[in-house]
Amino acid sequence: MLWPFRFCPACGTPVHGEAGVAPLNCEACPERFFRPVSVGVAVVLIENRQMLLGRRRDGGWCIPCGYLEWGEEVASAARREFREETGLEVEIVGIRQVQSNFHRPEDLSVGIWFDGRRLSGELQAGDDLVAVQFFDCWEIPEILFPTDRRVIDEWIRSVDSIT
Ligand SMILES: [Zn+2]
């Protein structure tokens, strides 16, 4: 949805409100419009104490992720994005973290990091990724998103605490 808009999509009357902060209110009908927030989904796959990361076209590394599509269930979206980007079919076995992403001010999102377990497939970068690779916790490359970094830091602390 283009945001902010000046006229009510329901009746065409001008809307008022502090766009992007509060909902926009229609002056004629009871409609209120909230700026949509995207939902990002990521899958953390750890095997042999290594985490799978992907390198994006822009050069940064991240935990394989993507956006929820309209009508899609969140865990299904996570499995789909992971399959598209890594070639691997996973089952979702838990939720590792939920965070608000503020690194793209024009596209705010809520991210859900799921834990996955590999079922099948052959590891191969696809979609937005040009490389996929497992990393030990001491050789993690430069990470693009600060929220991914927090997920990784927490994983590193948990590895440290059991060794
Ligand atoms: Zn209206």
All residues at 6 or more sequence positions from 127 whose CB lies less than 8 Å from its CB, including other chains: 66, 81, 84, 85
Buried b (16+ CB within 10 A) or exposed e, 52-65: bbbbbeeeebbbbb
pLDDT at 82: 97
Measured in Å, residue 107 CA sits from the centre of ligand 1 at 25
CA distances from 95 to 1, 52, 72, 123, 141 (A): 29, 16, 17, 23, 24
Using one digit for the tens of pLDDT, what is the confidence trace for 69-107? 999 999 999 999 999 999 999 999 999 999 999 998 888
pLDDT at 31: 85
Measured in Å, residue 19 CA sits from the centre of ligand 1 at 16
The amino acid occupying position 63 is: I
The CATH topology of domain 38-162 is Nucleoside Triphosphate Pyrophosphohydrolase (3.90.79)
All residues at 6 or more sequence positions from 110 whose CB lies less than 8 Å from its CB, including other chains: 37, 38, 39, 40, 98, 99, 100, 101
* pLDDT for residue 49 is more than 80: yes
Residues around ligand 1, an ion, CB closer than 5 A: 8, 10-11, 13, 26, 28-29, 31
Using one digit for the tens of pLDDT, what is the confidence trace for 98-134? 999 999 888 899 999 999 999 999 999 998 899 999 9
Grouping H, G, I as helix, E, B as strand and the rest as coil, residue 4 is: coil
Give domain limits for the chain: 1-36, 38-162
pLDDT at 9: 87
Grouping H, G, I as helix, E, B as strand and the rest as coil, residue 32 is: strand
Using one digit for the tens of pLDDT, what is the confidence trace for 4-35? 788 898 899 988 887 666 788 888 998 888 88
